Amino acid sequence: MTKDIKGPSKQELQSRAVKLSIYGSGISFLIIAAAGIVSDSITLLLDAVTIFVIFVVAILTRFSIQTVHRPPDHRYNFGYTKYEPFTVVIQAGLIIITCFASVNFAIQDILHPDDITGYSLPVIVEVVSGLISILIMWYIASIGRKTDSAMLKGAAMQWKIEAMLSFGIAAGFLIGLILRAKGYTNITPYVDPSMAIMLAMVLVIEPLKTMGHTVPELLDAVPGEHIQTTVRKIVDKYKPHSFGVVRLRTRKAGGKIFVDVCFLVKGTMTVIETAELTDNFQRDVEEHLPDSDVLVHFKHKR
């Protein structure tokens, strides 16, 4: 008789991916920060801070993964799903602060130019960092797709951006190395701060967009048009069973959709009929929006 071998759960797979992100970002941060200090490069230090942000967010994500699946309790009646957008907002805020601080330091370097001590070390470090970022991104993205985790998909996007930036920085330092070899020493002091400013401008775009659609979610704004349309179609399907809809409210917290609807019913409608309508409505919503919390009310038509 053979025993069924059970594979790891979604939460276990997500935890493994987050652990890889924590260890990968921690090691990358130490290497790049050390190279930045040795070469006196503000661009490398900016990249190190960016990876440190990934490290901090990975720790928050690990906590969120452990927390977000908890059932509602006496303290959090609607559950813990808002930890997901909360984590994303912190991530975006840290990156935005880092970008503006880096631009400030880069401007100071342009006003008081000072060339970095060497270009070879930054090129090697950034190429290695880019390759590591691609491997981590690939693994986290595969787990994110497998478990349908928005947090892991976001983490994979962070590592993708980090990989692109690492190769971009390596290319910039390679240009600086060539310029120095050609004797253009009057230009090379501006290569590092200029790259830092361009890097900050590229980095700040995505977190600003993220803040734009995540903050409303924290404030219980209505979810996206696709979700609203889906819910409205289901509500319209059940309108003939009642005298109309008194109220329809929807909100989104992480991957969970909350639907609150109040139907206007006739006086002859029995408790069994209202219970049947409720069960069918909830079943329809959950069929289209699997991770949903549906609440149905009824108001008597006078």
Residue 20: per-residue pLDDT: 94
Task: Report domain extents, the chain.
Answer: 10-218, 225-300
pLDDT tens track of the chain, all 302 residues? 444 445 677 778 888 999 999 999 999 999 999 998 888 887 788 788 888 988 988 998 888 888 877 888 888 888 888 888 888 788 778 778 877 877 877 787 777 666 666 778 888 998 999 999 999 999 999 998 888 777 788 788 888 878 887 887 888 788 878 887 887 777 777 776 787 788 778 878 888 888 888 888 888 888 888 888 899 988 888 776 666 788 899 998 877 889 999 888 776 777 888 888 889 899 999 888 888 889 888 887 76
**3-class SS at 289?**
coil
- What does the DSSP 8-state code read for residue 189? G
Count of helices and strands (H, E) across the chain: 8, 3
Could you tell me the maximum CA-CA distance found in the chain, to the nearest angstrom? 93
pTM of the model: 0.73
Strands (E), 68-163: none
Q: Answer whether 70's CB lies under 8 Å from 43's CB.
A: no
Q: Check: CATH 1.20.1510.10 for 10-218? A: yes
Residue 135: per-residue pLDDT: 95
Name the CATH architecture for the domain at 225-300: 2-Layer Sandwich (3.30)
Vertex 126 angle, CA 125 and 132, to 5°? 90
